[in-house]
Structure 1
Amino acid sequence: MSDDDSDRDDSIDSEQMKTDRYGFQGGSQLENCSDDTVVGRVGMRRERKWVSMTNDLKSWKRWMRWRHKKVIERCRKGIPSSVRGKAWQFLSGSYEIQKKHEGEFDKLLSQKVDESVMRDIKKDIGRAFPYHEMFSKNGGPGQRELLRILQAYSVHNPSIGYCQAMAPIGALLLMHMTTEDAFWCFVTVCEKYLSGFFSPGLEAIQLEGQVFYALLQRHAPAVREHLDKLNIEPLMFMTEWYMCAFARTLPWSLVLRVWDLLFIENVKIIHKVAIATIKLTFDSKEKLDSSSSMHDTLRRLKNLPAEIFVNNALLREANDISITDKDLEREYKAIQNSETTIN
């Protein structure tokens, strides 16, 4: 090999090992997305506001009681990266839960874990985000800390133990906070925001899939008709979207914005993003016609077109979709009534 070839290879290796601002090697989780991170004076001003709000639990409770709408408004604008971890802890309630359970994390880690559960966890921790600098090295610090979170949770909630989709969620949280902080935030995510999603049998995911299709009928009837015509069930493509709250699906800057909203909207934001994804992916008759088979349609949904991420189109579309708590209650009740009638 010539010196020129060697130089070229070194250049390629160097390019592949570059780490982006989120810690992903060789570029972000997905490319072709506009990063709308606010910098300069506006960014610094927003950061100061969040630092003030999350200064202590007393300040935070005062904000949530008297200026809750302002907190929601600031979440919608995006939480500054420097305070995102602490903000998520306050928004989720995990900060207060952790204070009430001091020492509990270490106690959980000291308990014996089922061998099959540990085997599954160890098998998955390297797969969560293999190109992120924290988790790319087998047995490295990031993987070890992720193992501790998942191990502790399997003891904390033995009825669930461990589910494959948990690893990306634990890893995402670990990117923004210490291991113990991430564990308690993980607990609140699994038991409050994604409640039932990891239970054996995936009953909760099946229910959310039915709700998703009902909402899709209202917001994108042509696409819903297309999916029905091809006998495409929601679980054929939306399982990872919901179980990982899009952490494995979207460009990373969008993942973080969705999670900023998850802590104020709960599952509503997942439904909104899912519907927006469908609408933008099939936003014309030509695109529907070009996906005339089950295979073509599912391939398009599993390899989302880059243009739907440009200029924050996906998030803007999601925020324009109106879904209320009453809407969800009505759909849950309708599904329950239909199942009762069938039985």
Structure 2
Amino acid sequence: MVNYSLNSEQRDEVPNTYGFFVSPNELETEESVKASVARRREQKWLDMFARWSSFIESRFDKVKTRCRKGIPPSVRGQGWYHLSAAKYRHENADRNCPTGSVFNLYLTQTPTLNVLEDIKKDLARSFPDHEMFRDNGCGQESLFDVLKAYAVHDPAVGYCQAQAPIAAILLMHLPPEQAFWVFVQINEEYVKGYFSDGLMAVKEDALATELLIQRVSQRGYRLLRKLDVDPILYTLDWYMTLFSRTYRAPQLFRIWDMFFCEGVKVLFRLALVILRETLDVGPPDIVTKAHKCDNAMDLIALIKQTAKSLPFDVLLIKMDKLPLTDIDLAQACGQARQQLNSDLNTTNNRKTSSRAQAKKHK
């Protein structure tokens, strides 16, 4: 989670457009859109919602272009609800539910005690400087409901700490029941396996990121290998929280607009651009500093610092221009999966051999 201060009340801060408490100076410098332009963009999205199937099937490029420009805040939640196909899944699930609401049915059930305790611990940590999630705010209750319902929905996953900021951001834009179904789609369609025991899906995507860096920045790749940087150390927080601990509103919401439209490749593109900018083609002072690092932890700290300091509009442009195709991504993920499975088999064989040796010497 972004480190918003817990003491905003003592510093005369006020909620901005997105509900986060900021200083009056920050409020004055926030980007604004002319009311007439905002209304026009909002109407375009409302028109799309009315003919959603048609747009998705025959005018998807138009949808993608509008997502890259940013969904208007007034309809952003509904945009995510439609783009993720949560609306379709929600309606189908409730149609087959005897009580008429799967979400409400889940709320009458109870996951394991450990899961409930873990959820409660994280409520106060999730965006405490947002007006919804201050101590005992309405957002905390809704966040508890969404996370509890998901733990009932998928007991094999239960609850993972990285899920809390994701659910909280959804609740900033949607009522709890709709937020829950978008959350289900994120977990089961967008980043399937990210929160499972062992984190194999995250490890796979981390390794795939390293393989792709080799493709788009040989110089950056050589530095990462020279310092023996494990890619999970810089990608874990980015991917598992969908960058919610790296960026704040409105930049984070723009990333999610594209993510819900184009999928996980948006996370890869953003990660690769950050790495290229830090290690290869970015501001000379940052690149020079990177190549002066003599250990992995210093370099990782610089990468994470650079992610927050690079101009966001520049990041978006470079993401769009990054020479990365869907085929490149699929190949890298397949290669990473194969390598991890091979490593796992080797480890298991070593364990089996060790047990056999131990039995011989009994």
Same fold (TM over 0.5): yes
Bigger shift: residues 249-258 or 323-332: 323-332
> 1:151-230, aligned counterparts within 5 Å?
151-230=148-227
Could you state the TM-score of these two structures normalised by the residue count of structure 1? Answer: 0.88
What is the aligned-residue RMSD (CA, Å)?
Answer: 2.2
The answer as to whether partners of 1:150 and 1:162 remain within 8 angstroms in 2 is yes
Q: Which stretch shows the higher mean deviation, 196-205 or 332-341? A: 332-341
Structure 2 match to 1:303: 305
The number of residue pairs the alignment matches comes to: 324
Counterpart CA distance in 1 for 2:340 and 2:115 is 34
Give % identity.
35
**Correspondence 1:20-99 to 2 at 5 A:** 20-26=16-22, 38-55=33-50, 59-99=51-91
- Relative to structure 2, which stretch is displaced further, 323-332 or 118-127? 323-332
What amino acid is the match of 1:20? N
Q: 1:304 and 1:128, CA in 2 relative to 1: closer, same or farther beyond 3 A?
A: farther
Asked if 1:135 is matched to 2:133, the reply is: yes
CA distance in 2, matches of 1:271, 1:167: 22
Distance 2:10 2:124 in 1: 22
For structure 2, the residue ranges without an aligned partner over 5 or more in a row are: 1-7, 95-100, 346-362
Q: TM-score, normalised by structure 2?
A: 0.84
* Structure 1: distance between partners of 2:148 and 2:329: 33
Counterpart CA distance in 1 for 2:40 and 2:242 is 29
Does structure 2 retain, via aligned residues, the 8 Å contact 1:16–1:25?
no
Shift in CA distance, 235/35, structure 1 to aligned 2, threshold 3 Å: farther
Shift of residue 113 of structure 1? 1.7
What are structure 1's unaligned runs of at least 5 residues? 1-11
Q: 2:166, 2:244 within 8 Å by CA — same for their partners in 1? A: yes
Q: Which amino acid aligns with 2:133?
A: F
C-alpha change, 1:341 and 1:147, in structure 2 (3 Å) is: closer
Structure 1 residues 110 and 94, CA, compared in 2 at 3 Å: closer, same or farther? same
Q: Which of 104, 108, 129 is residue 106 of structure 2 equivalent to?
A: 108
- 1:18 is aligned to 14
Does the CA contact (< 8 Å) of 1:75 and 1:260 recur in 2?
A: yes
Structure 2 equivalent of residue 5 of structure 1: none
CA shift for structure 1 position 101: 2.1
Amino acid at match of 1:333: G
2:321 counterpart residue number? 320
After superposition, the Cα gap between the structure-2 partners of 1:202 and 1:305, relative to the gap in structure 1 and judged at 3 Å, is: closer
What does the per-residue CA deviation read over 1:114-173, in whole Å, with 9 as the maximum and x for residues that have no partner?
100000000012112111111121x32110100000000000001100001000000000
> How has the CA–CA distance of structure 1 residues 267 and 35 changed in structure 2, closer, same or farther, with 3 Å as cutoff?
farther
Question: For the residues of structure 2 that align with 1:133 and 1:329, how far apart are their CA atoms?
Answer: 41
Q: Distance between the aligned counterparts of 1:340 and 1:97, measured in 2?
A: 33
Report the Cα distance in structure 2 between the residues aligned to 1:240 and 1:218, rounded to whole angstroms: 23
Question: 1:78/1:223 Cα in 2 relative to 1: closer, same or farther (>3 Å)?
Answer: same
Between the aligned partners of 1:330 and 1:266, the Cα distance in structure 2 is 16
- Displacement of 1:47 in angstroms is 1.0
Quickly say closer, same or farther: Cα 1:27–1:91, change in 2 above 3 A.
Answer: farther
Answer yes or no: is the 8 Å Cα contact 2:165–2:244 preserved in 1: yes
Contact 2:146–2:176 under 8 Å retained in 1: yes
Aligned mates of 1:306, 1:152 — CA distance in 2? 33
User: CA, structure 1 residues 180+120, in 2 after alignment: closer, same or farther (shift >3 Å)?
Assistant: same
For residues 38 and 246 of structure 2, what CA distance do their matches in structure 1 show?
Answer: 27
